[in-house]
Amino acid sequence: AKRSGKSQFKYYRDIKQLSYFQNYVTLERELKQALKNKEFVLYYQPIFSDGGKVISGVEALVRWIHPEKGLIPPFEFITAAEEMGIMPDIGDWVLNEGLRQLHQWHTLGYDKLTLSINASKTQMMDDRFFKEVSEKLREYDIRPDRLGIEITESDVCDYLDKITEFTTKLKQLGVKISLDDFGVGLSSLNYLKEIKVTQLKVDRSFMRRIPEDQYDCALLSGICTLCEKLNIEVVTEGVETKQQFEYIANQNHKMQGYYFSHPVLPDQLEEQLRRLN
């Protein structure tokens, strides 16, 4: 079995075949324990501004360090955790741990650094999450505009009303809203109309054939022009090669990708901060 995305998880479950787990029952039991046993860890992937010279923020990406199986990537358990109803709890943990770490970095002097966290569908359905966000910002004494919540198109699609309500409240608080994986779904443009996002993350599939493919280059540049007019910040995801970097470096949007850094542990991120910021 391979890890090829969220949509296949249900399929795995149906045939009782998971890539890391014998079956769904084991996975459920172990996932529930994982939270109690503190087996989740956050990695941070830097997001660059100023043509790649400065780290303006980090995206928190969760991993599960399983006692026997080792590091398990999010695709292996997030959909299952959603279905089991424990994603809101994992999400609360991510929020708390991310903000705790951000507070520490602010204290070290990197006080403009922003944190992006990924919100799951079930988390956004739950009014508790908004309360958690405002409480935690206060607890760690963090300016709301230093936090960004990333939402994905596919989630928006299912519950537009509820998610609009959620994002509106967050924006009133001053938190930034980012539309993740932009361009993969079918009606992205419609969402820009409904949810007035502050940032758009262009999916890495757009980056793949840049700069060779003129068609993709035109699409990217069109998206950027659109965002400029709407006053939406652009982040290009999946920058992997020097050629890609050089192509987009002089356009003034933010960049994220393996070319700069994989997601890393806090120590390694601090090393990068010391070097750059």
Q: How far is the CB of 123 from ligand C2E (least distance, A)?
A: 7
> What does the buried/exposed string (b/e) look like for 96-128 if buried means 16 or more CB atoms within 10 Å of the residue's CB?
ebbbebbbebbeeebeebbbbbbbbbbbbbbee
Among positions 113-152, residues that touch Ca ion (CB under 5 A) are 118, 150
Q: Which is nearer to Ca ion, 30 or 181 (CB)?
A: 181
The candidate with the shortest Cα–Cα distance to 260, out of 66, 34, 44, 100, is 44
Choose the contact partner of 257 out of Ca ion, ligand C2E, none; CB within 5 to 8 A by kind.
Answer: ligand C2E
Q: How far is the CB of 107 from Ca ion (least distance, A)?
A: 22
Q: Give the pair of three-digit tokens for residue 64.
A: 């599960």
Q: How far is the CB of 109 from ligand C2E (least distance, A)?
A: 26
- For residues 168 and 166, give the distance between their C-alpha atoms in angstroms, rounded to a whole number: 6
Q: Which is nearer to ligand C2E, 94 or 99 (CB)?
A: 94
Chain Cα centroid distance, residue 5: 15
Choose the contact partner of 94 out of Ca ion, ligand C2E, none; CB within 5 to 8 A by kind.
Answer: ligand C2E
Number of residues that bind Ca ion (CB under 5 A): 4
Q: How far is the CB of 266 from Ca ion (least distance, A)?
A: 18
∠ at Cα 119 (256, 259), nearest 5°?
A: 10
**Contact between residue 113 and residue 102 where contact means Cβ atoms under 8 Å apart:** yes
Which span (45-53, 78-86, 175-183, 188-196) binds Ca ion, by CB under 5 A? 175-183
Choose the contact partner of 188 out of Ca ion, ligand C2E, none; CB within 5 to 8 A by kind.
Answer: none
Choose the contact partner of 240 out of Ca ion, ligand C2E, none; CB within 5 to 8 A by kind.
Answer: ligand C2E
| 181 near Ca ion, rule: CB under 5 A | yes
- For residues 121 and 187, give the distance between their C-alpha atoms in angstroms, rounded to a whole number: 18
**Contact between residue 269 and residue 275 where contact means Cβ atoms under 8 Å apart:** no
Q: How far is the CB of 22 from ligand C2E (least distance, A)?
A: 22
One-letter amino acid of 8: Q
Q: Cis before residue 211, ω within 30 degrees of 0?
A: yes
- For residues 10 and 47, give the distance between their C-alpha atoms in angstroms, rounded to a whole number: 32
Q: Which is nearer to Ca ion, 180 or 233 (CB)?
A: 180
The candidate with the shortest Cα–Cα distance to 119, out of 190, 47, 167, 188, is 167
Q: Which is nearer to ligand C2E, 78 or 232 (CB)?
A: 78
Beta-carbon count within 10 A of 217 CB: 16
Q: Which is nearer to ligand C2E, 51 or 73 (CB)?
A: 73
Contact residues: ligand C2E, CB under 6 A? 45, 61-62, 73-75, 78, 91, 94, 118, 120, 150, 180-181, 204, 238-240, 256-258, 263
Q: How far is the CB of 275 from Ca ion (least distance, A)?
A: 24
Q: How far is the CB of 182 from Ca ion (least distance, A)?
A: 8
* Residues forming the site for Ca ion (CB under 5 A): 118, 150, 180-181
